[in-house]
């Protein structure tokens, strides 16, 4: 359990760093509606997770339950949505939270 928590924390840190880099060098970016439409129509991916990164950037995870493909996007405050990462073998986990008052 502790290892999973560490991996998840590191993953979120990497996504936050990627969001910072995107603000400096917007590549692979398009209007949000176009990106979401493409992810859904071509890859069958729907939104599975969401978070707020630095400076108001919106980080989202899209994935397909059928194929296991996944994509991480960051939408900048100006409206552009940029691709951060993508891959295969996405799985939804439902880990139990630690009891109150106990460390993970």
Percent of the chain with pLDDT over 90: 54
Where are the domains positioned within the chain? 2-87
Question: Residues 62-72: pLDDT tens digits?
Answer: 999 999 999 99
Residues 6+ apart with CB under 8 A from 9: none
Residues 6+ apart with CB under 8 A from 22: 29, 57, 74, 76, 82, 84
- Which pLDDT score is estimated for 25? 47
Question: Residues 16-48: pLDDT tens digits?
Answer: 555 554 444 456 899 999 999 999 999 999 999
d(C-alpha 83, C-alpha 60), whole Å: 10
Q: Is the pLDDT of residue 93 over 90?
A: no
What does pTM read for this prediction? Answer: 0.67
- Which pLDDT score is estimated for 75? 95
pLDDT averaged over the chain?
Answer: 80
- Which pLDDT score is estimated for 22? 46
d(C-alpha 65, C-alpha 44), whole Å: 8
Q: Is the pLDDT of residue 97 over 50?
A: yes
């Amino acid at each position: 359990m502790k290892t999973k928590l560490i991996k998840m924390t590191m993953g979120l840190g990497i996504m936050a760093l990627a969001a910072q880099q995107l603000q400096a060098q917007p590549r692979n970016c398009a209007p949000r509606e176009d990106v979401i439409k493409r992810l859904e129509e071509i890859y069958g991916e729907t939104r599975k997770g969401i978070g707020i990164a630095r400076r108001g950037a919106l980080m989202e995870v899209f994935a397909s339950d059928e194929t296991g493909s996944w994509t991480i996007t960051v939408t900048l405050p100006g409206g552009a949505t940029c691709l951060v990462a993508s891959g295969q073998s996405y799985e939804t986990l439902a880990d139990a939270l630690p009891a109150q008052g106990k460390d993970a």
